[in-house]
Structure 1
């Protein structure tokens, strides 16, 4: 039994070396498992130095290019009042937008007015056209006086709230007239015509004031 134990469990160092040679994958696995832990520390140190160090060369080159471009620009372009030119351009665009909006509303009103006239003629109610327009204009003047007494006068260049409210009332009458008589159509047309007339006059005054301000700004 002692001989069998000695033969099955050899204790010589040469046998241990042979066993290790026959199983080299354990050593490689150990080296691979321990290698990244040793290499990660210097890599992280390099990354932190790159992020928290001095500014990169790209930023320095961009600053140099900016300085060269600024020196290359002539003095007349540097001294030009760009802010004032921007304000004048915005005012011009607002004036153009107001005019385009005004004419679009006028065209829409004319088309609607013509369709209402054709509708009245088709139903043999031509007399309702002038009478309805007259009533609408009178109602507009009456509502304007009431709104001017109730509300404060609008500032120049601001939104005319009384005219806006009156126009909404006449638009509501125009919508309701589709379910009633054609007379209400022409009442609404007369009121809207008066509203457009007054609104156009207020826009002319505001545009003249704005053009005077723009000309004064250009002269200064």
Structure 2
């Protein structure tokens, strides 16, 4: 039964995405959600279904309804819960729209400083937080600075010791955006190239890219494929 429910959710989610998050599918999500009650699948499916419902409301500009769901979820689930970074990212966006940022600040601070979530999930939120709260008290800034050091280490990036944590976060975000764009362009070119051109593209990419995370990714998924 659990596999059946999981497969139903995958198929329904795909249908909803293709529809542009049409609200006509809300009842189907709720019906599927109710099927899992009393099974080991319940807590995970509850998170997934409510995330999907909230996304449907958000995409249809029903921000208050999206906010109510997401704010309940960030209270009910641990910051180490898988996909929590997706939740915190959206509730941040909704809070900005509804002018309720103060209510989620403690959750975001905890997420940035306590969770084991990868840097990819943290960095967009970190960039926003540093710009929104550049003058946090000294203790908070010290904790955040330590988190930024860990973030840079994961990325394989260098920090400027003379810069504030805010300046370093903004620099990391720019590096993340630059490297992401460069990787995207590399992949597009690589797919269209012949073997000799592929080798030249790889050499060019490794010569320019400085972030270890991205070079490791290309090594893993492209170098060994030649």
In the superposition, the TM-score normalised over structure 1's length comes to 0.25
Structure number, greater radius of gyration: 1
- The structure showing larger relative contact order (alpha-carbon pairs under 8 Å, at least 6 residues apart) is 1
More helix by share: 1
TM, length-normalised to structure 2: 0.25
